[in-house]
């Protein structure tokens, strides 16, 4: 038995306001009655380990703890390598005469000093403590897309510093896509001479029409020497960089440089629009050779065990009409284009395996059969990860529902533009990467989780930081802590201890977690809304004075649409935070429960049975907390008004955003009943606009809805081959 397990069992887990200042929370912590007087200085041994720690941490300790660290002949910090400890673990003990650190490996030593830096909170002394710590998962990742928007090496070093503070150990560097090729490949210089630059960039959201473009040359790339330097910088801080070279899709930047690598051979520009495009790498021998040569240079730069080859969102349109691709299907006895994709992935896997490396890819690499030894990143949900784990493949969980940090984190009207979705801090914190559908044996294949930052709408590092923090702090506890503290304890500790550290370091972060959450409760005349927060937050109707404290708001059901606005100001620690105008509409169905025969997706169903009757009309750009989302091609639900009610109009909102896999449904059938037993047709019609309006005067008690949507996304579109999302908002009835 490894020593770490003995120590963890023997040290009580203690958590209070004083001890909760370490992020992620250690596995075990116990204070003692001793105090170490550091007098502004710590002396480390004159060993390689001691010198490395001084190199990495001297600036951080002086800036954040006010402590100077150096090596010397009389160390006050004892460093002991203990190979009996579990990987990446450490024991930190502070006593009156000395600080003692046992560590399993270099990462464990680095993490001990990250913890020590957070533990020091007094000018000349350190409180006595024993801390034993180890990670829950071996893979603790953060992804950053540098293709859609480019970030400098210095900016990336700062980003890596923040990852290291939170004990992440994998940086997934997204280097190529349709909008830019970012890594120098010496055998193919046009990849960066042409592929690294685009002549225009779409302005605003992808779904906005008509689209407008900023007609400016934009781009950049990293030389191989710069990339090697960043690899070394990350390694020194316990982080492995995993490069991603997208194939066989998301290839427009490469095809702009070398058109012959595509099926059509057509000269196309580097793309300035977000989304998925039909032009992908051809499966011809010339392209396969190109990809192998690119990967050969990539593995010479990056020593990581795994290389990410993408594999996601590969339209098969060009392959279906390409004589070379069709000849390959026939020659190799493949069933279809999905198996042709497997051929490309398997070919790259075999090539990398021959070089002593492994591949990892998005869960689409499961299509047509998974290559041997491949790891899977499950992003479209948990299904891909579950399937891969059951087949004995290692899995990194990164579903959009909990891990996509480019999603909105607040409904506040001042939130910066985002791709869509809704991922608040609390939802990140409560994520469990291990699916309950797996057996204990299968769960061992879940090696960790990863936060993803796609940058279509994050053009600057300031914007990246705003979307990253504090959600990355929450994710650090998800992937590190064997047992997380309650969210009610995490949140005040975050506000008190970690956010001031970020502010001190000049890191931009969001305070959206302070926004009011409105709890809904049906009442006889409509809805009652109660402000709620896990912190000591108060809410007032007056933005400038602590008067008019809001205990609850009431929305009364009306026969006509009435628009109501409630300005609510959030106060925290007696300081006004910001004012949010909560806009509602009232109508005859307000607060009436909807029975969903077709269950909404858990990702987009924030108010359960009141999701269509909560008085909230979905806005654009869309946010996932304002819409009810479905993934079935037929949707059925009913509304019971309770009593016979005169209505003359039914209105229901839909959303059409193909770039986000969301499609306007095709038809709607509404039936009505006066007793809940016999139903007659109220209206049936094709849906041609985003807002459905059905006009007919009837006395009704129950309404029944059947909505059909597009059964499958067509080839060439984002999400091709899948059932698209259907988004509905407020179901409005008026007299």
Residues recognised as catalytic: 177, 250, 313
Helix/strand/coil percentages in the chain, nearest 5: 30, 30, 40
Whether the Cβ atoms of residue 459 and residue 216 lie closer than 8 Å to each other: no
Length reported for the chain: 735
Distances (CA, A) of 721 to 116, 355, 600: 51, 34, 21
Query: Parallel, antiparallel, or unpaired: how do β-strands 562-572 and 575-586 relate?
Result: antiparallel
Residues 175 and 181: their CA atoms lie apart, in Å, by: 6
Query: Parallel, antiparallel, or unpaired: how do β-strands 594-596 and 634-654 relate?
Result: antiparallel
The single-letter DSSP state of residue 366 is G
Token readout for 355 is: 């070089």
Whether the Cβ atoms of residue 344 and residue 371 lie closer than 8 Å to each other: no
* Nearest to 429, CA basis, from 385, 490, 378, 508: 490
Token readout for 190 is: 């046009």
Burial 207-246 (b: 16+ CB within 10 A, else e): beeeeeeeeeebbebbeeebbeebbebbeebbbbbbbbbb
Unique residue bearing structure tokens 């196309």: 268
First and final C-alpha spacing in the chain: 73
Distances (CA, A) of 89 to 82, 83, 126: 10, 10, 22
Residues 669 and 650: their CA atoms lie apart, in Å, by: 12
Contacts of 388 (CB under 8 A, 6+ apart): 363, 366, 370, 376, 378, 394, 395, 445
3-state secondary structure at position 608: helix
Residues 588 and 159: their CA atoms lie apart, in Å, by: 51
Residues 132 and 69: their CA atoms lie apart, in Å, by: 22
Query: Parallel, antiparallel, or unpaired: how do β-strands 197-198 and 218-219 relate?
Result: antiparallel
Residues 480 and 189: their CA atoms lie apart, in Å, by: 41
Q: At what angle do helices 471-480 and 461-468 cross, to 10 degrees?
A: 50
Distances (CA, A) of 502 to 161, 278, 453, 497: 12, 42, 19, 9
Residues 309 and 288: their CA atoms lie apart, in Å, by: 13
């Amino acid at each position: 038995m490894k020593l770490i397990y003995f120590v963890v069992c023997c040290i009580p887990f203690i958590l209070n306001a004083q001890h909760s200042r370490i992020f992620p929370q250690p596995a075990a912590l116990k204070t003692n009655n001793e105090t170490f007087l550091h007098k502004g200085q710590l002396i480390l041994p004159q060993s390689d380990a001691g010198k490395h720690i001084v190199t990495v941490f001297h600036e951080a300790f002086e800036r954040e703890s006010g402590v100077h660290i150096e090596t010397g002949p009389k160390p006050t910090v004892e460093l002991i390598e203990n190979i009996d400890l579990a990987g990446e673990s450490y024991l930190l003990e502070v006593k009156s005469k000395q600080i003692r650190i046992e560590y399993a490996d270099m990462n464990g030593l680095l993490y001990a000093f990250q913890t020590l830096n957070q533990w020091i909170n007094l000018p000349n002394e350190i409180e006595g403590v024993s801390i034993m710590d180890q990670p829950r998962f071996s893979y603790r990742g953060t992804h950053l897309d540098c293709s859609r928007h480019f970030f400098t090496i210095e900016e990336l070093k700062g980003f890596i510093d923040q990852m290291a503070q939170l004990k992440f150990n994998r940086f997934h560097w997204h280097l190529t896509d349709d909008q830019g090729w970012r890594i120098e490949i010496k055998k193919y210089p046009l990849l960066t001479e042409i592929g690294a630059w685009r002549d225009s960039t779409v302005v605003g959201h992808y779904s906005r029409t008509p689209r407008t473009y900023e007609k400016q040359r934009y781009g950049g790339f990293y030389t191989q020497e710069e990339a090697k330097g960043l690899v070394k910088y990350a390694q020194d801080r316990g982080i492995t960089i995993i490069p991603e070279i997208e194939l066989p899709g998301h290839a427009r930047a490469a095809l702009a440089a070398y058109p012959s690598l595509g099926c059509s051979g057509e000269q196309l520009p580097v793309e300035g629009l977000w989304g998925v495009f039909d032009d992908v790498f051809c499966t011809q021998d010339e392209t396969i050779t190109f990809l192998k040569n690119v990967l050969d240079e990539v593995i010479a730069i990056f020593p990581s065990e795994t290389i990410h080859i993408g594999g996601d969102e590969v339209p098969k349109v060009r392959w279906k009409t390409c004589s070379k691709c069709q000849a390959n299907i026939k020659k190799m006895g493949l069933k279809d284009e999905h198996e042709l994709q497997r051929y490309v992935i398997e070919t790259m896997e075999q090539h990398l395996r021959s070089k002593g490396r492994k591949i990892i890819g998005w869960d689409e690499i499961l299509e047509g059969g998974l290559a041997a030894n491949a790891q899977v990143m499950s992003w479209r949900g948990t299904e891909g990860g579950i399937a891969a784990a059951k087949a004995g493949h290692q899995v990194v969980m990164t579903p959009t529902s909990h891990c996509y940090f480019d999603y909105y984190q607040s409904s506040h009207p001042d939130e910066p533009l985002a791709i869509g979705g809704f991922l608040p801090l609390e939802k990140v914190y409560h994520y469990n990467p291990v699916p309950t559908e797996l057996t204990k044996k299968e769960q061992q294949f879940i090696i960790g989780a990863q936060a993803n930052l796609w940058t279509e709408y994050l053009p600057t590092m300031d914007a990246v930081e705003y979307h990253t923090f504090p959600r990355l702090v929450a994710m650090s506890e998800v992937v590190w802590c064997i047992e997380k503290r309650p969210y009610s304890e995490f949140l005040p500790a975050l506000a008190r201890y970690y956010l001031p550290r970020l502010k001190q370091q000049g890191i931009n972060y969001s305070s959206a977690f302070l926004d009011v959450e409105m709890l809904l409760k049906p009442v006889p005349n409509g809805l009652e809304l109660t402000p709620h927060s896990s912190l000591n937050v108060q809410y007032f109707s007056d933005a400038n004075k602590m008067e008019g404290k809001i205990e609850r708001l009431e929305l009364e059901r009306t026969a006509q649409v009435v628009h109501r606005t409630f300005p609510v100001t959030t106060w925290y620690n007696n300081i006004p935070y910001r004012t949010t105008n909560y806009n509602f509409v009232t109508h005859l169905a307000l607060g009436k429960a909807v029975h969903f025969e077709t269950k909404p997706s858990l990702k987009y169903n924030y108010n359960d049975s009141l999701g269509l009757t909560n008085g909230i009309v979905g806005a654009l750009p869309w946010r996932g907390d304002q819409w009810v989302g479905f993934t079935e091609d037929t949707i059925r639900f009913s509304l019971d008004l309770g009593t016979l009610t005169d209505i003359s109009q039914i209105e229901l909102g839909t959303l059409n955003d193909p770039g986000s896999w969301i499609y306007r449904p095709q038809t709607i059938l509404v039936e009505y009943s006066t007793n809940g037993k016999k139903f007659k047709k109220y209206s049936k019609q094709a849906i041609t606009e985003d807002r459905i309006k059905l006009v007919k005067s009837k006395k009704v008690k129950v309404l029944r809805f059947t909505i059909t949507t597009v059964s499958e996304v067509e080839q060439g579109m984002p999400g091709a081959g899948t059932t698209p999302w259907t988004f509905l908002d407020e179901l409005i009835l008026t007299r």
